[in-house]
Structure 1
Amino acid sequence: MHAFETVHAEPRDSVESPLFRVNFWQRSSPGAAWTLDAYIVTDTRDVNDVLRWVDLHANGRRFEVFAEIDPEPVGAFQEPRTTSLLRLIGEDPNAGESVPIGQFIKK
């Protein structure tokens, strides 16, 4: 990691209450595929509110938290979200690994 001192700058854009995406990851057993439960968290003051919500709902699951880059309305569950994400904390457990989608058992 590197840190560089900089002068204060005025941002082009600023979002006072961004939408956050939270992904919870869980395995049913060691070596099984990871399952994902994804949420949109709205009406927060900041990421600390989101982390408190995660703490209440994680139930031991791994998690990732993202800020959504562009405002996108919250729609029905079946409507995929397409805005870009900025990862704030966590990691995708599938990153860099092939993911099993099923097993065939010879009988």
Structure 2
Amino acid sequence: MSKTFLKLPVMFFAIPFVYLSLLLDAYFHSILGFLMTLVFSFMVGFYFKACNHLILWLTGNILSTVFSVILQFQHPEWHFFYQPFNPAFLVLFLSLLYLIPQVMGIIWATSLQVHISK
């Protein structure tokens, strides 16, 4: 497998997943975005552990959180929709919460001893 293909999922972290899940919740009143992000988070943790790229996993999480915090400032109406929480605090809290399924994916990949060759 080429190294470009192995590092391809890092580009997915440039997508602000927490922001998108909050956006879907605010406009469609649906928790589907949260559920999809939780499943994706598990798969990302599993994949990065299987590829042994945990540094890239950490970098990607930081990038996604920063992009989500920056983009949430475009929606001042969220201050009223997500009462009593500040939207920036909510983005940071959800980013930390989404680390749980990622760590579960890492643990699962470790226990199954899955390795994707470089």
Q: Please identify which structure carries the higher helix content.
A: 2
Q: Please identify which structure carries the higher strand content.
A: 1
Mark the structure with the bigger radius of gyration. Answer: 1
Higher relative contact order (Cα pairs below 8 Å, separated by 6+ residues):
2
TM-score normalised to structure 2 length: 0.29
